[in-house]
Amino acid sequence: MKLAIVILNWNGTKLLEQFLPSVVALSKEADIYVADNASTDDSIAFVNKNYPEIKIVRNAENGGYAKGYNDALKHIDADIYCLLNSDIEVTENWLTPIIDTFKTEPETGIIQPKILDYKNKNLFEYAGAAGGFIDKYGYPYCRGRIFNTIEADEGQYNDTIEIFWASGACLFIRQDIFNALEGFDDSFFAHMEEIDLCWRAKNRSYSIKYVGTSTVYHVGGATLETISPKKTYLNFRNSLFTLTKNATRPIFTKIFIRLILDGIAGIKFVCEIKPNHTLAVIKAHFSFYYHLIKVLKQRKKLEQLKIKTKYYERTSIVMDYFVNRKRYFKNLGK
């Protein structure tokens, strides 16, 4: 089984200096690639000088996470891709349980390891934690992280389970499945593209697993600040894209309720004196309306599948969290 670790880079010399050593030292089972999104710093020169064994794939432009990986992976031949953020520290034997799962479970197409916070290694990290899920209206949440409530890692998620989506911070996927899904949606640029990819995989009956015996540490927010209005814009817009493309009927009822909930979130930002984030939510909605016809055309592929299974476990994680005050995954129940 040929495994390729592919690290997307854009002007990330400092991150490569800090995090490549653990990847190189602890990933002997894999070939390592840096996919460069047209960097203008000396990051590629740094890799060539210090890690000549690492292969470089140069993209013609900075197309963000989605297009960056789509362009780069066309030039990489492997059975399994590991899409690894440049701000991740890996641990000893992190690849072993992942490879074993792929070998023993041919129906498993995508895997995520346990993702902990690099800055506080006792806590789960926001982006993925212990595996992702989605509610009826397209809001994502994780075991170990619901909205801004982060759990401590006490071994409660050292298991292997079926999940709904795997974090793009460290996502393993079979090459044939990535190609069958036609990769990421380029229009997303960044944020939520991995959820869209996983949702499309689920709609085609591929299995997605969380393997808690593999651990990585993620800085998070290293390429786009956690509180950035641009991140708010991309998250809200791309979440609407994802819901519209992939959710089962009645889709327009779900979109209408979702728009109301997003409006409440915008008001909440006003109350928190974050007007730039409120403006980001408004811009996200206008961008969604502008692209709606295109997104509905993409949805036609879903309609052809005639899916009947329910994709969500929670009707509204927003209600569970903000109204019913259920802040931890164990409190959600069924």
Q: Mind giving me the DSSP string for 148-206? A: TEE-B-SSTT-SEEE-SB--TTEEEEEHHHHHHTTSS-GGG-SSSHHHHHHHHHHHTT-
What pLDDT was estimated at residue 285?
96
pTM, whole model, 2 decimals? 0.94
Cα–Cα distance, 11 to 32 (Å, whole number): 18
Q: What is the pLDDT of residues 225-264, one digit of tens each?
A: 557 899 999 999 999 999 999 999 899 999 999 999 999 9
Per-residue pLDDT for 90 more than 80?
yes
Per-residue pLDDT for 42 more than 60?
yes
103: left (phi over 0), alpha (psi -120 to 50) or beta: alpha
Q: What is the pLDDT of residues 272-303, one digit of tens each?
A: 999 999 999 999 999 999 999 999 999 998 88
Cα–Cα distance, 137 to 256 (Å, whole number): 10
Distance (Å) of CA 38 to CA 57, 81, 321: 10, 21, 41
Per-residue pLDDT for 221 more than 90?
no
Alpha-helical runs (H) found in the chain: 13-25, 43-50, 64-73, 96-104, 175-180, 193-203, 229-246, 251-271, 275-290, 292-303, 317-318
Cα 124–262–117 angle (5° rounding)?
10
What pLDDT was estimated at residue 307?
81
Residue entry with tokens 């998070």 = 220
Structure tokens, 62: 């900075």
What pLDDT was estimated at residue 334?
60
DSSP 113: E
Which residues on neighbouring strands pair with residue 136, listed in sequence order? none
Whether 236 contacts 186, CB under 8 Å: no
Residues 6+ apart with CB under 8 A from 205: none
Whether 236 contacts 112, CB under 8 Å: no
Cα–Cα distance, 115 to 14 (Å, whole number): 21
Question: Which CATH superfamily hosts domain 3-218?
Answer: Spore Coat Polysaccharide Biosynthesis Protein SpsA; Chain A (3.90.550.10)
Q: What residue ranges do the domains of the chain occupy? A: 3-218, 229-303
What pLDDT was estimated at residue 190?
83
Per-residue pLDDT band for 304 (boundaries 50, 70, 90) equals confident
What pLDDT was estimated at residue 224?
44
Q: What is the pLDDT of residues 58-89, one digit of tens each?
A: 999 999 999 999 999 999 999 999 999 999 99
Cα–Cα distance, 142 to 32 (Å, whole number): 28
Q: What is the pLDDT of residues 164-195, one digit of tens each?
A: 999 999 999 999 999 999 999 999 988 899 99
Which residues on neighbouring strands pair with residue 209, listed in sequence order? 111, 162
What percent of the chain has a predicted confidence (pLDDT) above 90?
91
Cα–Cα distance, 16 to 85 (Å, whole number): 10
Cα–Cα distance, 100 to 1 (Å, whole number): 10
